[in-house]
Structure 1
Amino acid sequence: MSKANFWRGVVPAITTPFKTDGSVDHDFLARHAIEMIDAGCTGIVPLGSLGEGATLSFDEKLAIVKTLVQAIGRRAAVIPGIAALSTDEAVRLARECEGLGAHGLMVLPPYVYSTDWHEMGGHIKAVLRATALPTLLYNNPPAYKTDFKPEQIAELAAEFPLLQAVKESSGDIRRFAGIRALIGDRLVLMVGMDDAIVEGIAMGATGWIAGVVNAFPAESVALFNVALKKGTNAAMPLYAWHLPLLRMDTVPKFVQLIKLMQERVGKGSERVRAPRYVVEGAERAEALRQIDHAIQTRPTL
């Protein structure tokens, strides 16, 4: 099976917008997704960490997928994140998303519980068997405490043809070389940490599941394209402008900070769902200083 085109390019990990009453704002969600596709993004990943997936009910997750499929399903791919406390729930979520018309899945390890490859591999394999959709494996040990090593990723790739890509967020750029040394170009490599995008492309990544793109879609697509087509040196001026923003994607309050960016540029609200609170005090002042500087020095594309 050929690799799906939507694993390549810039794929936003879309934030989940909330109304003042705390419910999901589906109208804004649809408009926001369309705007990012209009800017050149190739797909949308809802229900991930940036999407506050752990705070969403099962039914809210399905409603979000339905909204996105209806909004952009004919123009680009909807690739929901599949994460849950239990394997049974993850399998059920994957199947329901397939039934709603999702084009692919981003498969995560279970929330909270993490042990050895026997159990974590078993969880991933159960989800991979659950549908006929192409899938992306998400490796983010800082967030999920499960680290899928290159040898384990190679094992999954050998067993499951529908596994087509890996989103690497370990923070170790050497992982791309490690994966390629074992399985060549069997999987599409995707960068999952915003402030490693240029380095990741230099190591063979051809896709970026991005966060700051929610606030700066045109600039994010431009950075990806110049790094991929013209190389590191050509990308550095735009990368240097981006980096203070991109680094906000790799800290504990990345959801609050990226939503603050969105509100500052008129692309959403900073409202988050508890246990998160909007950033305050000196932390907020410093974030706004950097965001406002980026807005004032915004490059002409």
Structure 2
Amino acid sequence: MQINWEGVMPAITTKFTSDDQLDLEMFEVNVKAQMDAGVSALILGGTLGEASTLSFEEKKTLIIETVRIVEGKIPVIINIAEQTTKGAIEAAQVAKECGAKGLMMLPPMRYKANSYETVTYFRAVANSTELPIMIYNNPIDYGIEVTLDMLEELLDCDNIQAVKESTRDISNITRIKSRFGDRLKVFTGVDTLGLESVFMGADGWVAGLVCAFPAETVAIYKLAKAGRAEEAIAIYRWFLPLLELDINPQLVQNIKLAEVATKIGTENVRAPRLPLQGNERERVLKIIKEGVATRPVLPEYKSL
């Protein structure tokens, strides 16, 4: 399966039971809700997936289960966030063996690599696999910026095909498109810039609140791409208070609370994360409650 780098791709959450085991039953409920809404791929193993807390066997189980659930209808993409080049190459190999069809790659974790080291890291992994790759550029959260010059050095790797743009500088979408055209597909990775990014030419949206509100997220994207801007903006204005829950250190807890409200998830997180408490919990629940109570009636969007 070739990946068509466009559309909404959820950074899917990992579901846990109350006794801290993988909740594969609720995980399947959520995956099927995403597919029914019309997402174009699923991304496992990101921050929202609490990948840093998962064992090697749990990661393999999630890949295999997701591949089983989707039945080849949409690609499964694995996020790689490793401390070593060797570890990243091994993770890419395991992803392919388990049935994944693509990779999303962060720069090396913990060690703040310089530009030369970062490019060498990406190139080594790309040359080790046939899987198509989306580079994840998020210097705010991970401390390393993948500049346009660095991206240009990587274009000799044919399987580096897309970039997830999370610098919060929306003009970077224009810079990438102006310099590389369609050689690199561009995804926004910031929920609160989702619609704006699509209007500026982003090919897709790696989304967070889609985990709780899949139909609304896909509808915004498809309406915008179809030129129905006013309809997209109206839904997006309703959505923005919820989308802001993604730009928060407790984004996992926030989004899982929203999944509970829409009945496609549970609140369970893995320690050291803990469920929200006190005033912050009440604040987030109020936003979610208001969002659910005013949830818009969507136009038919799937055929757009």
TM bracket, shorter-chain basis: over 0.9
Is 1:135 aligned to 2:128, yes or no? Answer: no
Q: Give the CA deviation at 1:74.
A: 1.2
Q: Assess if the C-alpha contact under 8 Å between 1:154 and 1:179 holds in 2.
A: no
Question: What TM-score do you get using the length of structure 1 for normalisation?
Answer: 0.95
What pairs up with 1:267-286 in 2 under 5 angstroms? 267-286=264-283
Q: Give the CA deviation at 1:232.
A: 4.1
What pairs up with 1:1-301 in 2 under 5 angstroms? 4-5=3-4, 7-156=5-154, 158-230=155-227, 232-301=229-298
Supply the RMSD in Å over aligned alpha carbons.
Answer: 1.4
Q: Distance in 1 between matches of 2:253 and 2:112?
A: 26
Q: Distance in 2 between matches of 1:103 and 1:115?
A: 27
Q: Give the CA deviation at 1:231.
A: 5.1
* 1:10 maps to amino acid: V
Q: Give the CA deviation at 1:234.
A: 3.7
Q: Assess if the C-alpha contact under 8 Å between 1:150 and 1:175 holds in 2.
A: no
Q: Assess if the C-alpha contact under 8 Å between 1:192 and 1:208 holds in 2.
A: yes
- Taking only the aligned residue pairs, the percentage that are identical comes to 39
* 1:239 maps to amino acid: Y
Q: Assess if the C-alpha contact under 8 Å between 2:188 and 2:206 holds in 1.
A: yes
Q: Distance in 2 between matches of 1:21 and 1:253?
A: 21
Q: SS in structure 2 opposite 1:230?
A: coil
Which consecutive residues of structure 2, in runs of 5 or more, have no partner in the other structure?
299-304
Q: Which runs of 4+ in 1 moved over 3 A?
A: 231-234
Aligned residues: 298
Q: Assess if the C-alpha contact under 8 Å between 1:82 and 1:94 holds in 2.
A: yes
Q: Distance in 2 between matches of 1:148 and 1:73?
A: 34
Q: Assess if the C-alpha contact under 8 Å between 1:14 and 1:50 holds in 2.
A: yes
Q: Assess if the C-alpha contact under 8 Å between 1:4 and 1:164 holds in 2.
A: no
What does the per-residue CA deviation read over 1:91-136, in whole Å, with 9 as the maximum and x for residues that have no partner? Answer: 1010011111111111111222213111122221121112101111
Q: Assess if the C-alpha contact under 8 Å between 2:3 and 2:75 holds in 1.
A: no
Q: SS in structure 2 opposite 1:45?
A: strand
What does the per-residue CA deviation read over 1:138-163, in whole Å, with 9 as the maximum and x for residues that have no partner? Answer: 1111221111011211221x211111
* 1:115 maps to amino acid: A
* 1:130 maps to amino acid: S
Q: Assess if the C-alpha contact under 8 Å between 2:76 and 2:102 holds in 1.
A: yes
Q: SS in structure 2 opposite 1:111?
A: coil
